[in-house]
Amino acid sequence: MSTSAKTDQPTGMTVTTPAEREIRIERVFDAPRELVWQAHTDPDLVARWWGRGNRLDIERLEVERGGHWRFVEHGPEGVSGFEGRFREVSPRERIVQTFEWDGMPGYVVVNTTTFEDLGDGRTRVVTTSLFFTTEERDGMLSSGMEQGLSESYRALDRLLVDLA
Amino acid sequence: MSTSAKTDQPTGMTVTTPAEREIRIERVFDAPRELVWQAHTDPDLVARWWGRGNRLDIERLEVERGGHWRFVEHGPEGVSGFEGRFREVSPRERIVQTFEWDGMPGYVVVNTTTFEDLGDGRTRVVTTSLFFTTEERDGMLSSGMEQGLSESYRALDRLLVDLA
């Protein structure tokens, strides 16, 4: 059941809530899958878009089953840490990893991200987030996450142009 | 809804499944609450019972909101790491923390543990575990977790006698 759908023009990010404890986010990038994959897994590249222009320290990014990741973003409103661990890594196809913000420690989300080659030099990235409770999901939806991610993805658009 | 209840004599540990994604474990210790709390939060004491006689390295145990913990158990069948983070710490009363085993990285459980002073020198410890899915809960139930925890709690009984 889809309880809401919103397309954020012009970036074309679509946010839906396919189940009570889930958020699904779909976005198409005008770049080949290999490049989009690198931008998600190479620490030097991640640092150039994930923080939306804010300085981002990649403290750990061990892209393999069991590996940990931890990013620290230095924004105008302060310092925010984010971390998690990889459940599954299938190169260029799929990553399953946990996500946790220092501001709500222990409130873990499982993000499953797929990278689909659209065959015309574009790539569709879909992330489904699973929360422990519906309340935690709704808290994320009301936290400004959509706007933040939308800004990150626009920065990723620009990076992909630079890399091409 | 309680779908099962089992009392493991003589330790008196009771395991139930109060909801689809939960396990509840209740155990009474013949020791005052202050001592039971210390045995759960002082690294030198945790190392003496959590590993059930196996060597346990306490790599991190930051008992405060946002703090991390990580234990490495050295058993006859190999080395196992366990880790998580504290959501909430109310001294002598309640701990909410995540739990994750290196063997299934990213399969996070939220454990809420309460310490109840029974007024006669005994303490009731109740842990409710919340899983992302029922399958993950059932995997934990079939993993030997009950026997392992029962052994840990018997080791804790002995430690509490030594400390008294």
Task: Calculate how close chain A gets to B83, using CA atoms only, in Å.
Answer: 11
User: Is the pLDDT at B6 greater than 70, yes or no?
Assistant: no
Nearest to A86 among B87, B96, B106 (CB): B106
What is the per-residue DSSP string for chain A? ----EEEETTTTEEEE--STTEEEEEEEESS-HHHHHHHHH-HHHHTTTTTTTSEEEEEEE--STT-EEEEEEEETTEEEEEEEEEEEEETTTEEEEEEEETTSTT--EEEEEEEEE-SSS-EEEEEEEEESSHHHHHHHHTTTHHHHHHHHHHHHHHHHHHH-
pLDDT band of B12, cuts 50, 70, 90: confident
Task: Share the mean pLDDT of chain A.
Answer: 94
Give A9's pLDDT tier (boundaries 50, 70, 90): very low
Sign of the four-CA dihedral B131, B136, B140, B141: positive
Name the one residue in this structure whose structure tokens are 């405060």: B64
Q: What ipTM was predicted for this assembly?
A: 0.91
Contact B106 A100 (CB under 8 A): no
Q: What is the pLDDT of residue A12?
A: 87
pLDDT at A10 over 60: no
Residue A11: predicted pLDDT: 58
pLDDT digits (tens, 9 = 90+) for A61-73: 999 999 999 999 9
Whether the CB-CB separation of B25 and B4 falls below 8 Å is answered with no
User: Does B110 contact A132 at a Cβ distance shorter than 8 Å?
Assistant: yes
Burial class (CB in 10 A: 0-12, 13-18, 19+), A36: buried
Other Cβ atoms less than 10 A from the Cβ of B153: the count is 20
Q: Which residue of B132, B133, B134, B136 to mutate against A (max A Cβ within 10 Å)?
A: B132
- Mind listing the pLDDT tens digit for each residue in A13-59? 999 999 999 999 999 999 999 999 999 999 999 999 999 999 999 99
Confidence of residue B5 (pLDDT cuts 50, 70, 90): low
User: What is the average pLDDT across B96-118?
Assistant: 98
Q: Which pLDDT does position B20 carry in this prediction?
A: 97
The pLDDT tens digits for B38-85 are 999 999 999 999 999 999 999 999 999 999 999 999 999 899 999 999
Binary contact (A106, B98; C-beta < 8 A):
yes
Q: Extract the tokens encoding A157.
A: 């658009």
A98 Cα to chain B: minimum distance (Å): 6
Render pLDDT for A94-150 as a digit per residue (tens, 0 to 9). 999 999 999 999 999 999 999 999 999 999 999 999 999 999 999 999 998 999 999
The reply to whether the predicted model has a pTM over 0.80 is yes
Cβ atoms within 10 A of the Cβ of A145, count?
A: 16
- The answer to whether the Cβ–Cβ distance between B107 and A97 falls below 8 Å is no
Q: Which chain A residue has the Cα nearest residue B111?
A: A106
Provide the pairing of β-strand A123-131 with B78-90: unpaired
